[in-house]
Structure 1
Amino acid sequence: MNKATKILIIQFLCFAVIFLAARVIIVNFNLLSGLWIPIVSGVAAILLAPQFKVFKVDGKETVFVAWLFSKKGKPVNWL
């Protein structure tokens, strides 16, 4: 499995965890109802989930992660 495939799976898992957490919080506190629950959960997950990108730097594939609260991407060494 190459790095791009691993990154896609990790990015989806981050999105899914944040989406489900936001959905549980919204439902438990009765903040919204109906179709608004998945819409707001999805928007929150899109904004809060980290974004992973694979770039070729010096002939090697390097993974960078960008997040809403960081100004620029940081390299990831654990992949």
Structure 2
Amino acid sequence: MTKSTKILIIQFLCFAGIFLGARFLIVHFALLTGLWIPVVSGIAAIVLAPQFKVFKVDGVDTVFIAWLFSKKGKPVNWL
């Protein structure tokens, strides 16, 4: 499995976890109904989910993570 495939899976799991958490909180604590629940949950997950990118640095695939709360991308060493 290549790093790009691993990154895609990890990014999807992060998005799905944030989406489900936001959906649960919105259903129980907000006054939204119908189609607005998944729309607002999706927007929250898009904004809050970390972004992973694979770059070639000196001929080696390096994974960087960018997040809403960080100023610049940071290298990830655990992949």
Cα distance between partner residues in 2 of 1:72 and 1:30: 33
Are 2:26 and 1:26 equivalent residues in the alignment?
yes
CA RMSD of aligned residues (A): 0.6
With normalisation by structure 2, the TM-score equals 0.98
Give 1:28 shift.
1.0
Cα distance between partner residues in 2 of 1:26 and 1:33: 9
* Residue equivalent to 1:62: 62
**What's the % identity of the aligned pairs?**
81
With normalisation by structure 1, the TM-score equals 0.98
The amino acid that maps onto 2:19 is: F
Cα distance between partner residues in 2 of 1:21 and 1:60: 35
Question: Which segments of structure 1 move beyond 2 Å, counting only runs of 4 or more?
Answer: none
Structure 1 residue runs without a partner (length 5+)? none
Structure 2 residue runs without a partner (length 5+)? none
Q: Deviations over 1:4-58 (max 9, x none)?
A: 0000000000000000000000001143111000000000000000000000000
Q: How many residues align?
A: 79
